[in-house]
Homo-oligomer: A and B are copies of this chain.
Amino acid sequence: MRPLAALTAALAAALAAVAPAAAQDLAVREIGSFHIGGRTVTLQGLPVQEITFTAGAPPFRYDPNGQFQVEQMYVQYVKLAAPRARYPLLMWHGGGLTGVTWETTPDGRPGWQMAFLRAGHDVYVSDAVERGRSGWARYPEIFPTPPIFRPLAEGWNLFRVGPADGWDPDPAKRRAYPSTQFPVAAWDQFGKQSVPRWVTTDAAIQAAYNDLVQRVCPCVIMVHSQGGNFGFNAALAAPDKVRALIAIEPSGAPDPARAEAARVREIPHLVVWGDFIEGHALWPRLVANVARWQKAIADAGGRADTLDLPKEGMAGNSHMLMMDRNSDAIAARIQDWIVARGLMR
């Protein structure tokens, strides 16, 4: 245990420090991306239009019929020259957002992509099907419904930054929880990370994630919020490929009555929760659903740990805890768990 403990301490120090130049530089082998999954759909019978694409360009005849690629998923990777982690780390965002969740904080600090790169992981950040760079498909011809858009107000209480009656369109009048770790002055900047989402695309999202697992794993998967269900189910679909699952504030989990927890008993699970859950209108039910799945894994002889931040003395964290002011300290705690699971070289 001595070398592991020393490594943990070194990593925690590195994560906590304010960028002291060269010591934190990364040796990067390659940065790139790819799209995976999806299918081809053919549309016909739609009217032809004449469109000017670019100011100054001649008009162009636009025929919306034909073949389209739909339901593919975008994945960006950063591969280190000498990763210290045994397996790549896949980061799957939550609903209404994209991989940007992991890249930055709304107040401009480096995100967990950078934190876990510095900790020695190759990192794959994806945008779920129909989000961000994955593109989306025409409706109602391909997707049956329009998407939904998240108002700036919605996350204020849903993401446990402030009380339900604490929202105000005027930033100066908003009331956050006094001890919140979320950088509240950057709330509207956080809103810029929002993208539309569909509520009818779960199967397509899951299929592309499962394809990704087959392509790049064995791996460790880190999921957030809506990504929780996709991660738990990806582990069920490919238990031989997933070496650990880290669920940050997962909004759902499989029902043990319908999914066989024994399938994932070899996969260590970690669930991380922030603050302000008790008494919230929604979150206690979501936590109970996840706890039920954790218990099923444990009952099957597996490991499904919980990192309850308030119980560990870290108060004030929101649902977006990778963006909270103490995000680096939380990343360090998760890295400790990864080290303890033997997932670093």
**Chain B's nearest CB lies how many Å from the CB of A328?**
14
How far, in angstroms, from A169 to B67 measured CA to CA in the complex? 7
How far, in angstroms, from A338 to B104 measured CA to CA in the complex? 31
- Interface 1/0 per residue, A239-265 and B, CB below 8 Å: 000000000000111110000000000
Whether A72 is near chain B, meaning CB under 8 Å from some CB there, is yes
Task: List chain B residues, Cβ under 8 A from A193.
Answer: 35, 135
- Interface 1/0 per residue, A173-193 and B, CB below 8 Å: 000000000000000110111
- Interface 1/0 per residue, A24-53 and B, CB below 8 Å: 111111111111001010110000010111
| Interchain CB contact under 8 A, B30 and A114 | yes
| Interchain CB contact under 8 A, A191 and B54 | no
- Of B68, B108, B111, B133, which one neighbours A191 at CB under 8 angstroms? B68
- Among the 9-residue stretches A3-11, A55-63, A271-279, A295-303, the one with 4 or more Cβ atoms under 8 Å from chain B is A55-63
| Interchain CB contact under 8 A, B62 and A148 | yes
How far, in angstroms, from A243 to B67 measured CA to CA in the complex? 42
| Interchain CB contact under 8 A, B30 and A28 | no
- Of B25, B30, B43, B69, which one neighbours A29 at CB under 8 angstroms? B25
How far, in angstroms, from A42 to B191 measured CA to CA in the complex? 13
**Chain B's nearest CB lies how many Å from the CB of A98?**
5
Task: List chain B residues, Cβ under 8 A from A226.
Answer: 53-54
- Interface 1/0 per residue, A133-158 and B, CB below 8 Å: 10111100000000011011110000
| Interchain CB contact under 8 A, B151 and A72 | no
Whether A289 is near chain B, meaning CB under 8 Å from some CB there, is yes
Whether A285 is near chain B, meaning CB under 8 Å from some CB there, is yes
**Chain B's nearest CB lies how many Å from the CB of A297?**
16
| Interchain CB contact under 8 A, B136 and A34 | no
Whether A132 is near chain B, meaning CB under 8 Å from some CB there, is yes
Task: List chain B residues, Cβ under 8 A from A19.
Answer: 30
- Of B132, B149, B189, which one neighbours A138 at CB under 8 angstroms? B149
- Of B33, B252, B253, which one neighbours A104 at CB under 8 angstroms? B33
Whether A286 is near chain B, meaning CB under 8 Å from some CB there, is yes
- Among the 9-residue stretches A194-202, A305-313, A329-337, the one with 4 or more Cβ atoms under 8 Å from chain B is A194-202
| Interchain CB contact under 8 A, A76 and B56 | no
Whether A282 is near chain B, meaning CB under 8 Å from some CB there, is yes
How far, in angstroms, from A138 to B49 measured CA to CA in the complex? 22
Q: A34-B104, A136-B196 are in contact. List 14 more A-B contacts (CB 8 A).
A: A25-B81, A26-B31, A27-B28, A31-B103, A31-B110, A32-B103, A32-B111, A33-B100, A54-B226, A54-B229, A56-B229, A67-B169, A132-B135, A135-B195
- Can you spell out 13 A-B residue pairs with CB atoms less than 8 angstroms apart? A33-B111, A40-B152, A40-B188, A43-B151, A54-B226, A54-B252, A55-B229, A56-B229, A57-B251, A64-B151, A65-B151, A69-B152, A69-B188
